[in-house]
Structure 1
Amino acid sequence: MNKIEENAVSSNDISVANKKLLGWREWAALPDLGIHSIKMKVDTGARTSCLHAFNLEPFEKDGQPWLRIWVHPIQGSDQEHICEAPVLEQRTVTDSGGHRETRYVIATTLVVGGDAFKVEITLTNRDTMKFRMLLGRQAMNGRYIVDPKASYLTGTIS
């Protein structure tokens, strides 16, 4: 190993210290929403995490904006799950195809491999997508590094 390679390795070791490893796809849970298991794609190209919601119904609770959210949490299934969450904001998001869309944003607890933390999640219809959820950079920042060859490094959820 030459001097440049040695420096690159030692710098890399410092940057990954205390971070867990994720594969390109992982199991997660969204307990605040009553979703006990969901497959998510780990997407370093997405800034914000995203959850599939095929129907959204805004309403007011205690003077604050809330959403009733209809989700198909299981890939390839029409099983419906209905949950509710307070609205954080509405935000214009540009998807990987360059299409802009205004989406509702919620904050909720995400559980991945035993770690539980709050994340911001945008809501959109992902019926045509393979994964019902994307894990974006903001949720991973400072917590994880990604091995693009690996899958389900944090284990499975039954």
Structure 2
Amino acid sequence: MTQGASPGTIVLGWREWVCLPGLGLPAVRAKVDSGARSCALHVDTHWRFTDGGVPWVGFRVAPGTGASIQACAPVLEEREVTDSGGHRSRRVFLRATLRLAGVEREVDINLSDRRGMLFPMLLGRTAMAGAFTVDPARSFLHGRPSGDAVPSLKKPR
């Protein structure tokens, strides 16, 4: 255990591979950012629709595997987010299962344009709270996920 880590917490490096199985994303490079409140996922495009009176968001993402993945999920909420440059924008949030270092937990993720960033996902502090600590001198401590993600969520019938 890294010095200063609480018993029972898992140490992460400043970058890690994560899996979002319910979205069909078996391996996504994520920047671990305790300065960011929420998680952000780069999407190439997204669109809103309603099914059965429930708001949904569909989106397309290319997680770096060469293939583009299309998924959809119920909209959790929409709220203002301030990026690291101080720019505010209204973003769609969804809730998804995150798998990292043998731990699965539900996290809130906003969909954003991270084009030009090195990491398609940002892992924020609310997703890490109570389970993880960060060692900024290390990276990719837990390896790449095995690729056993479940298929993308389908629109309900």
How far apart, CA to CA, are the structure 2 residues paired with 1:62 and 1:31? 24
TM-score by length of 1: 0.87
Q: Which amino acid aligns with 2:10?
A: K
Aligned residues: CA RMSD: 1.4
1:112 pairs, out of 100, 115, 120, with 100
**Superposed displacement of residue 60, structure 1:** 0.9
The yes-or-no answer on 1:140 pairing with 2:128 is yes
Indicate the SS of the match to 2:108.
strand
Per the alignment, residue 25 of structure 1 pairs with 15
Listed one character per residue, the Cα deviations across residues 16-51 of structure 1 (whole Å, up to 9, x for unaligned) are 110000000001110110001111000111000000
Listed one character per residue, the Cα deviations across residues 41-99 of structure 1 (whole Å, up to 9, x for unaligned) are 00111000000012111011221000111112117x5x311000000110100000000
Give the alignment of 1:26-105 within 5 angstroms: 26-74=16-64, 77=66, 79-105=67-93
Q: Which amino acid aligns with 2:32?
A: V
Number of matched pairs: 144
Structure of greater Rg: 1
How far apart, CA to CA, are the structure 2 residues paired with 1:61 and 1:154? 38
Structure having greater relative contact order (Cα 8 Å, sep ≥ 6)? 2
Q: Which amino acid aligns with 2:9?
A: K
How far apart, CA to CA, are the structure 2 residues paired with 1:90 and 1:157? 30
Flag structure 1 segments of 5+ consecutive residues without an equivalent: 1-8
How far apart, CA to CA, are the structure 2 residues paired with 1:65 and 1:121? 16
Indicate the SS of the match to 1:139.
helix
Identity of aligned residues (%): 44
1:157 pairs, out of 127, 131, 145, with 145
Misfit runs of 4+, over 6 Å: none
The structure that is helix-richer by fraction is 1
How far apart, CA to CA, are the structure 2 residues paired with 1:61 and 1:130? 35
Q: Which amino acid aligns with 2:34?
A: T
Per the alignment, residue 5 of structure 1 pairs with none
TM-score by length of 2: 0.87
Give the alignment of 1:116-127 within 5 angstroms: 116-127=104-115
Flag structure 2 segments of 5+ consecutive residues without an equivalent: 147-157
How far apart, CA to CA, are the structure 2 residues paired with 1:113 and 1:20? 8
